């Protein structure tokens, strides 16, 4: 019991007589001695009487109990019920101390947490001459003094960062407190004027302290009472004094397939869940509120405070990544912000376009099983795999082979004289290896057979040495000519389409070491390979009689005589020789 109000117990009628009065008996004490019993003490032994003329063995007491105007027993205007007294250590019919039980009333007082009472006591005592004397006593008594000293402070809780924990209490006023020994966590605490404190002026830090519960031993002391001890626990509670250090995301890979995501009046599965949000904070007792900043395009929204969702359609062909700043605010207003980036992934949601076959010509004479063209297509979807195949119909597909990746080959030798064009019908589909042919596109193409460009003019010319000449270049189509090799630098082109080849032969001489000259020309009608051809033209020099003899040679001996040329000449001149004198030749370039 903690607090008791004061009560007045009035003894209405008690008759006592002493064995031999030296003086009138005096009530020295009225107190509660246990949970259900009152005790009255006189300064000398007395006996009880019901009246002044008749003694009884068991004296009685009548009284009322009240708190102010509230009476727990009796009333101001009526006699109270009487109680039988029991002597303590009587001598005959006389005793100094007497007791009586008041179980129900004391239980009520205890239930009302009453601590002390006021006593207004009146007694009648008689001397040996049976003279009645009235004695009055007013006194305050405690309803708890009978209890042993006890510490009423129980287990405590204290927030982190606070030095003062609590003021200690006991069931007796005036008790003093101290720490009982140094066991467990006593060394971390101190007691000042009954106030339990941490020794550390800043208390304890919940976030760094390994133990959150401290065990301490306390002793209470009060004069006249035996010392008492009690072990209590002090539980450290977390205070929201730290800032969140991170925002957690339930998904480690943040990707979203492009598609249609819309927020309607009711949240549906069409809202793509990016991740469930969480926060890391050393404070254990905390609340978190998430919000968005820099939400460009308003693609993101937080649903139910923790679910980060996409609420608008996303097109990979327009945007490849989405970013937003996610902010978490804890219960104390501490904030932390994290940038969240979501990668948009491509979905095969577009049909192939721009189906083409290139080139659309076949060169006359192309041998069978030659690749002659490539099929291609475009698609807005990135990394699209295309699949190509023929479409059955009235066409020339049977004269071709088509690979799945678009390589078109002809399976017969091309002959312009017998067939001038081919028609093929092709389909392209997109998809991927596990899910092909999602969407397709058809195309019909005509391949035209073209003759290969050929230079038809002569590639060999014979011209006289020392002369200039021109040569007209011709081809099977109207081509333009150019010189691509001119080692001697004696050739040039002029005229329409550079079709006139001129040879500057003025300085050429058959009698020199070089008897022929060559030039390589190119004919062109377009950029395609079959529209270009080359030819090497050779100029062969013809020797002409364009030099004077430079000497006469005489070979042989006159008369077959051995002698010198001078001897032969003398004989010839003087007529002394006959027959073939010698053979004459000339020297000429």
Whether 282 contacts 207, CB under 8 Å: yes
DSSP conformational letter for 455:
B
Are residue 272 and residue 341 in the same domain, yes or no? yes
Are residue 133 and residue 189 in the same domain, yes or no? no
Are residue 275 and residue 391 in the same domain, yes or no? no
- Examine residue 269 and state whether it is found in any structural domain, yes or no: yes
Are residue 137 and residue 13 in the same domain, yes or no? yes
Please state the separation of Cα 424 from the chain's center in Å.
Answer: 53
- Examine residue 71 and state whether it is found in any structural domain, yes or no: yes
What is the distance between the alpha carbons of residues 400 and 445, in angstroms, rounded to a whole number?
13
Alpha carbon distances (Å) from 563 to 552, 573, 579, 580: 20, 15, 17, 15
Are residue 535 and residue 555 in the same domain, yes or no? no
Are residue 479 and residue 521 in the same domain, yes or no? yes
- Examine residue 318 and state whether it is found in any structural domain, yes or no: yes
Looking at residue 15, what is its pLDDT? 44
Q: Are strands 8-11 and 116-126 parallel, antiparallel or unpaired?
A: parallel
For residue 368 the two structure tokens come to 């069978």
Whether 472 contacts 500, CB under 8 Å: yes
For residue 129 the two structure tokens come to 């001459």
In DSSP notation, 205-234 reads -TTT-S--EEEEEEEEEETTEEEEEEEEEE
CATH of the domain at 491: 2.60.40.10
- Examine residue 150 and state whether it is found in any structural domain, yes or no: no
- Examine residue 425 and state whether it is found in any structural domain, yes or no: yes
For residue 453 the two structure tokens come to 């460009």
Are residue 296 and residue 334 in the same domain, yes or no? yes
Are residue 137 and residue 161 in the same domain, yes or no? no
| pLDDT level of residue 501 (50, 70, 90 thresholds) | very high
Are residue 188 and residue 298 in the same domain, yes or no? no
Whether 340 contacts 251, CB under 8 Å: no
The model's pLDDT over 72-123, given as tens digits with 9 standing for 90+, comes to 887 777 656 777 888 899 887 778 898 989 999 999 988 988 888 776 666 6
What is the distance between the alpha carbons of residues 572 and 126, in angstroms, rounded to a whole number?
222
In the chain, % of residues over pLDDT 70: 80
What is the distance between the alpha carbons of residues 550 and 463, in angstroms, rounded to a whole number?
26
∠ CA 461-464-467, nearest 5°, is: 100
For residue 202 the two structure tokens come to 């800043």
Candidates 292, 319, 318, 302; CA nearest to 263 is 302
Are residue 22 and residue 136 in the same domain, yes or no? yes
What is the distance between the alpha carbons of residues 186 and 219, in angstroms, rounded to a whole number?
12
Looking at residue 447, what is its pLDDT? 92
- Examine residue 182 and state whether it is found in any structural domain, yes or no: yes
- Domain range for residue 357? 353-450
What is the distance between the alpha carbons of residues 476 and 456, in angstroms, rounded to a whole number?
6
What is the distance between the alpha carbons of residues 25 and 15, in angstroms, rounded to a whole number?
12
pLDDT at 253 over 60: yes
What is the distance between the alpha carbons of residues 147 and 91, in angstroms, rounded to a whole number?
29
Q: What is the mean pLDDT of residues 320-344?
A: 92
Q: How many CB atoms lie within 10 A of CB 536?
A: 12
74 or 364: which leads in pLDDT: 364
- Examine residue 267 and state whether it is found in any structural domain, yes or no: yes
Choose the final residue of a domain: 220, 237, 254: 237
Choose the final residue of a domain: 401, 428, 450: 450
CATH of the domain at 295: 2.60.40.60
| pLDDT level of residue 511 (50, 70, 90 thresholds) | confident
Are residue 444 and residue 466 in the same domain, yes or no? no
What is the distance between the alpha carbons of residues 224 and 127, in angstroms, rounded to a whole number?
37
- Examine residue 100 and state whether it is found in any structural domain, yes or no: yes
Are residue 30 and residue 124 in the same domain, yes or no? yes
Q: Are strands 70-73 and 82-84 parallel, antiparallel or unpaired?
A: unpaired
Domains: count for the chain: 6
Burial class (CB in 10 A: 0-12, 13-18, 19+), 233: middle
Please state the separation of Cα 505 from the chain's center in Å.
Answer: 84
Q: What is the mean pLDDT of residues 378-405?
A: 87
Choose the final residue of a domain: 428, 450, 472: 450
Burial class (CB in 10 A: 0-12, 13-18, 19+), 503: buried
């Amino acid at each position: 019991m903690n607090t008791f109000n004061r009560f007045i117990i009035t003894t209405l009628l008690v008759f006592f007589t002493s064995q031999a009065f030296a003086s009138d008996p005096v009530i020295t004490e009225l107190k509660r001695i246990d949970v259900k019993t009152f005790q009255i003490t006189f300064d000398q032994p007395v006996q009880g009487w019901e009246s002044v003329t008749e003694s009884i063995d068991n004296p009685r007491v009548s009284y009322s109990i009240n708190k102010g105007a509230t009476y727990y027993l009796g009333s101001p205007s009526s006699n109270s019920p009487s109680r039988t007294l029991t002597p303590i250590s009587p001598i005959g019919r006389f005793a100094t101390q007497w007791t009586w039980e008041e179980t129900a009333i004391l239980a009520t007082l205890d239930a009302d947490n009453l601590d002390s009472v006021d006593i207004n006591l009146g007694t009648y005592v008689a001397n040996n001459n049976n003279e009645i004397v009235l004695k009055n006593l007013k006194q305050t008594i405690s309803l708890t003094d009978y209890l042993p000293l006890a510490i009423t402070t129980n287990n405590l809780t204290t927030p982190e960062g606070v030095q003062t924990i609590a003021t200690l209490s006991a069931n007796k006023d005036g008790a003093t407190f101290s720490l009982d020994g140094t066991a467990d966590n006593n060394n971390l605490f101190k007691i000042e004027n009954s106030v339990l404190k941490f020794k550390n002026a800043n208390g304890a830090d919940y976030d760094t302290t390994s133990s959150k519960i401290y065990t301490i031993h306390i002793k209470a002391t009060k004069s006249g009472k035996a010392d008492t001890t009690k072990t209590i626990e002090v539980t450290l509670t977390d205070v929201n004094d730290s800032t969140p250090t991170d925002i957690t995301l339930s998904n480690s890979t943040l990707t979203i397939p492009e598609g249609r995501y819309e927020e309607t009046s009711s949240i549906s599965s069409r809202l793509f869940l990016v991740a469930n949000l969480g926060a890391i904070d050393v404070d254990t007792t905390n609340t978190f509120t998430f919000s968005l900043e820099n939400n460009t395009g308003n693609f993101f929204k937080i649903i139910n405070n923790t679910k980060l969702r996409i609420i608008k359609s996303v097109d990979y062909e327009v945007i490849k990544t989405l970013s937003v700043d996610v902010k978490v605010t804890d219960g104390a207003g501490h904030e932390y912000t994290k940038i969240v980036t979501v990668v948009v992934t491509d979905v095969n949601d577009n049909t192939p376009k721009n189906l083409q076959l290139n080139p659309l010509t076949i060169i006359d004479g192309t041998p069978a099983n030659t690749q002659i063209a490539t099929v291609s297509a475009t698609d807005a979807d990135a990394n699209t795999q295309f699949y190509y195949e023929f479409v059955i119909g009235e066409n020339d597909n049977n004269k071709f082979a088509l690979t799945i990746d678009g390589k078109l080959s002809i399976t017969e030798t091309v002959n312009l004289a017998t067939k001038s064009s081919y028609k093929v019908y092709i389909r392209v589909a997109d998809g991927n290896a596990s899910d092909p042919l999602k969407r397709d596109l058809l195309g019909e193409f005509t391949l035209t057979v073209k003759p290969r460009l050929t230079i038809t003019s002569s590639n060999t010319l014979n011209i006289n040495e020392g002369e200039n000449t021109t040569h007209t270049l011709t081809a099977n189509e109207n081509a333009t000519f150019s010189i691509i090799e001119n080692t001697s630098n004696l050739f040039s082109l002029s005229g329409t389409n550079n079709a006139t080849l001129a040879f500057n032969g003025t300085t050429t001489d058959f009698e020199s070491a070089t008897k022929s000259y060559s030039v390589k020309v190119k004919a062109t009608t377009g950029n395609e390979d079959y529209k270009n051809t080359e030819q090497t033209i050779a100029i062969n020099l013809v020797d002409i009689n364009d030099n004077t003899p430079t000497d006469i040679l005489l070979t042989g001996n006159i008369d077959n005589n051995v002698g010198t040329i001078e001897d032969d000449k003398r004989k010839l001149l003087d007529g002394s020789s006959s027959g073939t004198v010698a053979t004459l030749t000339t020297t000429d370039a």
